[in-house]
């Protein structure tokens, strides 16, 4: 009896997550601004079963900088793969013909990072993620991934809290 209740709870949670993922796909521009304080979500944690595109974010003060894009995969089924790419736009509507950066196909849970050099794309003011899911072999269900994508300015974690001056003062 307990396992039936647990299964029902899991199904309810899955429905909620799928609803959230569908709402995420329908969003166009989010007012989220990329800041320097810490990792900022480009795609908040979601569960997807189909190809899709995440919300757009506006870059403020990050144009021309080096960013770290981190893909976190929390759940993946057997014989499934996820491809993720980051697209840029100057106006939030025209996303070009090629992504700014892409992750290779991912088959396993974990965290994966790539560098996004916006110095090569000074006109980019908006970013968004796009993903493709696939499976192979005999399967009775669609592929399903639980993942998130974060952005952070490169080197932020290496800077001392009080700046270089406080670091020099403590070692003098």
Domains of the chain and CATH, by start: 25-156 (2.60.120.660)
Distance CA 106, CA 84 (A): 9
Highest mean pLDDT among 17-26, 56-65, 77-86, 151-160: 77-86
Whole-number pLDDT of residue 79: 83
Band (pLDDT 50/70/90 cuts) for residue 154 is confident
DSSP secondary structure string for all residues of the chain = -HHHHHHHHHHHHHHHHHHHHHHHHH--EEEEEE-SSS-EEEEEEEEESS-EE--EEEESS-TT-EEEEEEEEEEE-TTEEEEEEEEEESSSS---SS-SEEPPPB-SSEEEEEEEEGGG-TT--EEEEEEEEEE-SS-SS---EEEEEEEEETTGGGS-TTHHHHHHHHT-
According to the model, what pLDDT value does residue 69 have?
Answer: 95
pLDDT at residue 30, as a whole number:
45
Give the pLDDT band (50/70/90) at residue 156. low
Alpha-carbon gap, residue 116 to 105, rounded angstroms:
18
Structure tokens at 37: 């304080």
- CB distance 85 to 129 below 8 Å: yes
Between 135 and 124, name the one with better pLDDT. Answer: 124
Single out the residue of 67, 62, 59, 64 nearest to residue 119, CA to CA: 64
Question: How do residues 29-76 score in pLDDT, each as one tens digit?
Answer: 444 444 445 788 999 999 988 899 999 999 877 777 899 999 999 988
Most confident of 15-19, 20-24, 40-44, 99-103: 99-103
pLDDT tens-digit series, residues 3-18:
455 545 545 555 554 5
What is the pLDDT at residue 39? 83
Residue 129 has pLDDT above 70, yes or no: yes
Q: For residue 59, what are the CA distances in angstroms to 64, 76, 111?
A: 10, 30, 23
């Amino acid at each position: 009896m307990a396992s039936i209740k647990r299964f029902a709870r899991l199904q309810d949670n899955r429905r909620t997550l799928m609803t959230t993922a569908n709402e995420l796909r329908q969003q166009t521009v989010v007012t989220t601004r990329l800041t320097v304080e810490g990792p900022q979500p480009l795609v908040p944690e979601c569960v997807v079963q189909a190809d899709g595109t995440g919300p757009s974010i506006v870059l403020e003060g990050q144009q021309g900088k080096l960013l770290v894009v981190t893909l976190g995969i929390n759940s993946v089924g057997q014989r499934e793969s996820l491809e993720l790419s980051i697209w840029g736009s100057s106006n939030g509507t025209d996303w070009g013909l090629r992504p700014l950066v892409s992750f290779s196909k991912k088959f396993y849970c974990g965290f994966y990072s790539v560098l996004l050099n916006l110095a090569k794309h000074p006109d980019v003011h908006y970013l968004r993620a796009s993903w493709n899911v696939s499976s192979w072999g005999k399967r009775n269900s669609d592929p399903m991934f639980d993942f998130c994508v974060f952005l952070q300015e490169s080197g932020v974690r290496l800077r001392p809290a009080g700046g270089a001056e406080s670091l020099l003062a403590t070692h003098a």
